[in-house]
Structure 1
Amino acid sequence: MEPAMACHADRTAPVFQTKGLTKTYRQGDVEVHALRGVDISLYPGELVVMLGASGSGKSTLLNILGGLDVPTTGEVRYQDIDLAGASDRELTRYRRDYVGFVFQFYNLIPSLTARENVIAVTEIARDPMAPEEALDMVGLASRLDHFPAQLSGGEQQRVAIARAISKRPRVLLCDEPTGALDSATGILVLAALERANRETGTTTVIITHNASIANMADRVITLSDGVISGEHRNSERQDPNTLSW
């Protein structure tokens, strides 16, 4: 049997709640229904994997949870914050103070070192980690003064994770964080995300089309054609280092 880690998430009041969430886009004369009535609850400290094929609505849902987009109809709340009814200024404040983002592409500043890329966030955060602490958490303590061009793709993604967690976000939202990486490198990135979740207690959502990643989660939510098509809770979280695909 492969080694596993016990679930640790605190199942108390939800961090996020959505009810009847829909999102419709117009492409010319065509309406695209990205979300068709999504009800979910996410809890403090849990690590959730959202699975779905391209076009299933998972990125749209993540963008709404992160305050990057707003729903067409329905409710979405982060604790006491009504994200569906928030102004642009309120959403900006919410993203700045509560949310860390990790995307498929790293979006590092090429002219800054790893440490300086993290400092770009910690300088404007309310209660940041030391940049060195954040980079150590993702296994890059020896690469502080390297520029992105001197780092591998996996190392660049881990710098992006360090940057996201350095402001001590309440929520870490990850959109296909291993999508541009090979399996061995992707596992290093997933291990960094798991460690950040475990050591900081940040509610972490990873969206992916890769079903192999689901075993590392507390809970797995599957989306299909804009609706929740399945959900299950793992009895144990599998160590990311034992995953393969």
Structure 2
Amino acid sequence: MANPDAQPPGAPVLRIRSLCKTYGSGESAVHALRDISLDVRSGEFVVLLGASGSGKSTLLNILGGLDIPTSGEIEFFEHRLTHATDEELTVYRREHVGFVFQFYNLIPSLTVRENVALVTDIADNPMPVDEALALVALTQRRDHFPSQLSGGEQQRVAIARAIVKRPQLLLCDEPTGALDYATGKMVLEVIANINAGLGTTAIVITHNAAIAGMADRVIRLVDGRIASIETPARRLTPAELSW
């Protein structure tokens, strides 16, 4: 695996060329992605916007090494993911990618600190667990169990778990989808702070068009294709968003 630290700032983290994903075959085939080409730069905050079924989650899963494309090419810092072995994809996910999903997937019998610490056992250069918890403002809740936390707090634990291994990529699949308005904005603030403070490249998928205002670039997907790529004149803070 190529060394990301050797790359210049703003270099493409991901190069995606002519990416296609088809499920099934014949008349029943579902074309989830159609000819996607895109570069994602180091430190960028990208929002993938689209309705349900537009291909957002499929694309995110492929970028995270959870799925493989039917055709096309993906490079992570010049390492060709589309020709990687299962073992190489496992290393890629473990060392370079942090995932945040709509549902938190915390282990109920473990405390906040223990849930985050689990990831440090498989990471090469993890940050101290308490540092990760401080970044998501959960230091005071470190000894609580998931059942003692609000939904927003549980999602912040999930973010701490994702970033404790210092990933180059933070991939977020509808991270506010299960949260109310105020809590969702708090979670977005945490993700924005991670992106800005650590320089972590963040890709957030959502159907909520308002969230696009906080992005460096907005990629709109329609029927598995890139319909548009927009660069907002100014990145909004989560506090400025409304929906």
Q: Give the CA deviation at 1:139.
A: 1.2
User: 2:226 maps to what in 1?
Assistant: 228
Q: Give the CA deviation at 1:90.
A: 0.5
Counterpart of 1:48 (choices 41, 46, 57) is: 46
Structure 1's unaligned 5+ residue stretches are: 1-9
Asked if 1:158 corresponds to 2:161, the answer is no
Counterpart of 2:198 (choices 193, 197, 200) is: 200
Which residue identity is paired with 2:216?
A: D
Which residue identity is paired with 2:199?
A: G
- Aligned runs of 1:109-124 on 2, under 5 Å? 109-124=107-122
Q: Give the CA deviation at 1:242.
A: 2.2
User: 2:21 maps to what in 1?
Assistant: 23
User: 2:3 maps to what in 1?
Assistant: none
Indicate the SS of the match to 1:236.
Answer: coil
Indicate the SS of the match to 1:23.
Answer: strand
User: What whole-Å deviation, never above 9, does each CA across 1:95-146 have from its counterpart, x for those lacking one?
Assistant: 0010000000000010011110000001221111111111111111111011
Q: Partners of 2:148 and 2:239 in 1: how far apart?
A: 25
Q: Give the CA deviation at 1:87.
A: 0.7
Q: Give the CA deviation at 1:81.
A: 1.4
Report the number of matched residues.
Answer: 236
Q: CA RMSD in A?
A: 1.3
Identity of aligned residues (%): 61
Q: Partners of 1:212 and 1:228 in 2: how far apart?
A: 19
User: 1:99 maps to what in 2?
Assistant: 97
Q: Give the CA deviation at 1:243.
A: 1.4
Indicate the SS of the match to 2:24.
Answer: strand
Q: Partners of 1:231 and 1:39 in 2: how far apart?
A: 11
User: 1:5 maps to what in 2?
Assistant: none
Q: Partners of 2:17 and 2:27 in 1: how far apart?
A: 28
Moved over 3 A (4+): none
Asked if 1:149 corresponds to 2:114, the answer is no
Counterpart of 1:73 (choices 71, 74, 79) is: 71
* Residues 10 and 43 in structure 2, CA contact (< 8 A), matched pair in contact too: no
When the two structures are superposed, what TM-score results if normalisation uses the length of structure 2?
Answer: 0.94
User: What whole-Å deviation, never above 9, does each CA across 1:54-80 have from its counterpart, x for those lacking one?
Assistant: 000011110110000011011111112
Q: Partners of 1:191 and 1:12 in 2: how far apart?
A: 22
User: 1:189 maps to what in 2?
Assistant: 187
Q: Give the CA deviation at 1:236.
A: 1.9
Indicate the SS of the match to 1:185.
Answer: helix
Which residue identity is paired with 1:144?
A: R
Indicate the SS of the match to 2:123.
Answer: coil
Indicate the SS of the match to 1:238.
Answer: coil
Q: Give the CA deviation at 1:234.
A: 1.7
Indicate the SS of the match to 1:117.
Answer: helix
Structure 2's unaligned 5+ residue stretches are: 1-7
Q: Give the CA deviation at 1:27.
A: 7.6
When the two structures are superposed, what TM-score results if normalisation uses the length of structure 1?
Answer: 0.94
